[in-house]
Homo-oligomer: A and B are copies of this chain.
Amino acid sequence: MQLKALVFDAYGTLFDVHSIGARCEQYWPGHGAALSQLWRTKQLEYSWLRTLMGRYIPFSAVTRDALAYACEALGLPLDAARSEALMQAYRALRPYPDVPGALEQLRAGGRKLAILTNGSPDMIAPLVEHCGMTKTFDAVLSADALRTFKIAPQVYQHAVERLGVEAAAIGFVSSNGWDALGAKNFGFRVWWINRQDAPVDRLDAQPDGILKGLGELPARLAA
């Protein structure tokens, strides 16, 4: 089936969450990478656990909680000013170097482009604006509208409804293996960006394609 829309995960897919590591490194020399890693791990874990418990809070609050846990676990002192500055840095992440050019090419292909993210509007809207991408996307969709997180199927259904495009005509791109397979199980056509050469997760599905970066997608779609 012809794809009518391309939908992108945000954190880790378009935007480099570890670009925040440099700011962490300034505050706690020698610990930036470890903090950035644990912060991300706990952010995901809390989003899944809160969904399972039925205790939703916006992703910005999850992210703040995860930062507090990660700093305590690593013995790094965190005060309100540093917490606020790091949350602000999350609204100013860098896109991966090949992302802006790839999005431009994909946009020229005439398909709808959208973001589908766990990120709450208070995080994702400033980030898209910071990266100069407000006109790039037809829609920036957040799981926050449903008060749940990926990989609950209703999050992917939200894209179907808001874009008015059936699932089989949506191409979905994520660097998060679990997100890619959740989307595949839901019914999207899926590309997994596998920058770290990781194995495919064992979650009942395989991505339709594996990319080293978003820059490869325009040629794949043309092939």
Q: In the complex, are the beta carbons of A52 and B46 less than 8 A apart?
A: no
Answer yes or no: A77 CB below 8 A from chain B CBs: no
A 53-72 contacts with B by CB, 8 A: 53-55, 65-66, 68-69, 72
**B151–A182 CB distance below 8 A:** no
Cα of A52 to Cα of B53 in the assembled complex, Å:
11
Does the CB pair B151–A65 fall under 8 Å? no
Name the distance in Å between A45's Cβ and chain B's nearest Cβ.
7
> Quick check: B69 and A202 within 8 Å, CB to CB?
yes
Instruction: Choose one: B50, B66, B198, B203; the contact of A49 (CB below 8 Å).
Output: B203
For the complex formed by this chain, how many copies does it contain in all? 2
Cβ of A72 to closest chain B Cβ, rounded Å: 4
| A48 interface contact, C-beta 8 A | yes
User: Do A50 and B198 form a contact, CB below 8 Å, given A55-B185, A178-B45?
Assistant: no
Flag whether A136 is at the interface (Cβ < 8 A). no
- A30 contacts the other chain (CB 8 A): no
Give the residues in chain B near A152, CB-CB below 8 Å.
52-53
